[in-house]
Copies of this chain bind each other. A is one copy, B any other.
Amino acid sequence: MFSFDIVGHSTESQARAGVIKTSHGDIETPIFMPVGTLGSVKAVSAEELFEAGAQVILGNTYHLYLRPGCEIIGRFNGLHRFMHWSKPILTDSGGFQVFSLANLARISDEGVTFQSHIDGSKHLLSPEKVIDIQACLDSDIMMCLDQCIQYPATREQCRAALAMTTEWAKRCKRAYQDSGNGHNALFGIVQGGMFVDLRRQSAEELMDIEFNGYAIGGLSVGEPVELMLEVADSTLPELPKAKPRYVMGIGTPENIIELVARGADMFDCVLPTRNARNGQMFTQTGTVNISNSRYKDDTDPLETDCRCYTCRNYSRAYLRHLFMARELLAYRLNTIHNIFYFINFIKQMRTAIVADKFETFRRKFYGKREL
């Protein structure tokens, strides 16, 4: 029940447009996935996500495993019904959070043991368990457990993490095959740090195992943007053309457009949602902070030509007032706009790719930012 078809591509770049089919519906790529960490994209409802154009959201396995736990979500036959979202869900493997959030993460052959960041309780995430959890969540696109490393890291550290990632990927694939969960997809995650040859090696090893799609992990972990793009630039062409390519945890509109130009199809990031809650709003001409006093009596919407719920119904003055007064509605209205911005931005990009006008789109995108 999982497939990927390319329906258009740019002749001036590697950008392509595709359709992923899942048992919960289609995903038009390139796609941006809002992050729903704990079974809720913070501050917005499923209906609002839908209205903003979201086709797929991301759930965090690590967080959901700790709270509310699989046993509870299992009673709803998965995350969709639990959180009242009927469209596709991609879940990460928890690897990234174990290494960034949890305490005392320790790697053994079996998996990773760690202490919960909430209550200090001890847990083990193994490749098998990670598949088990994601199957219980009924995730449409599951991710393999990978070993994320910090930046900078030595070649030796990267090589070791890569070896572990490949080993775990094999075990994830086996667990996936044994789980009878074949209607959902499993993606592998390329690691290798900032070493281009290790990235290539990781990609090859994963392709040997064969997955429904391939992700690039371990980017946007503190390295300069140029380095991130360089690594993506040399890794993306190594991945099979016929499978979706997902660059994890990225990012800004600028980074997304550059990665699409290099052949990436899928993105996720907390940027639109987290920044919304801090008052930073994305617009075609760049980001603005809604707390700025210049907006205090501004009766215009945030963006005059934006069709999101927020811009159709509320003024900058009202958004600023809510934000300054810390009204809960502020976080919602800001989040709706930012998600709409990201999704609409990438949707227009897709239209440009299908019409083979990607470079024109890219030029215009940067042109507006310079205004």
Binding site for B on A (CB under 8 A): 38-40, 42-46, 67-68, 71-72, 75-76, 82-84, 296-297, 299, 313-315, 317-318, 320-322, 324-325, 327-329, 331-332
Question: Can you list 11 residue pairs at the A/B interface with Cβ under 8 Å?
Answer: A38-B322, A39-B321, A40-B328, A40-B329, A42-B327, A43-B328, A44-B329, A68-B296, A68-B320, A72-B317, A84-B318
Count of chain copies: 2
Residues on the B chain within 8 Å of A325, using CB: 38, 67
Chain B residues with CB under 8 A of A75: 297, 299, 317
A46: B residues at CB distance < 8 A: 313
Q: Which residue of B lies closest to A66 (CB)?
A: B325
Q: DSSP class of A's interface residues: helix, strand, loop or mixed?
A: loop
Are A317 and B42 neighbours in the complex by a CB distance under 8 Å? no
Residue of B nearest to A118 (CB): B325
**Distance A84 CA – B46 CA, assembled complex (angstroms):** 22
Return the contact of A318 from the options B82, B296, B332 (Cβ within 8 A).
B82
Q: Is the CB of B297 within 8 A of A329?
A: no
Complex: A76 Cα to B320 Cα, angstroms: 14
Bound together, the chains give a CA A317 to CA B43 distance in angstroms of 18
Closest-by-CB residue of B relative to A277 is B328
| Chain B residues positioned under 8 Å from A38 (CB to CB) | 321-322, 325, 327
Q: Bound state CA distance, A67 and B75, in angstroms?
A: 46
Most buried by B among A40, A43, A329: A329
Q: Which of B44, B76, B82, B329 contacts A43 (CB 8 A)?
A: B329
Question: Which residues does chain B contribute within 8 Å of A332, judged by CB atoms?
Answer: 45, 328, 332
Q: Is B42 touching A328 in the complex (CB atoms < 8 A)?
A: yes
Within the complex, the shortest CB–CB distance from A97 to chain B, in Å, comes to 15
Least Cβ distance of A274 to chain B in Å? 12
Task: Across the A-B interface, give the 5 residue pairs with the lowest CB-CB distance, nearest first.
Answer: A68-B321, A43-B328, A40-B327, A40-B329, A84-B313
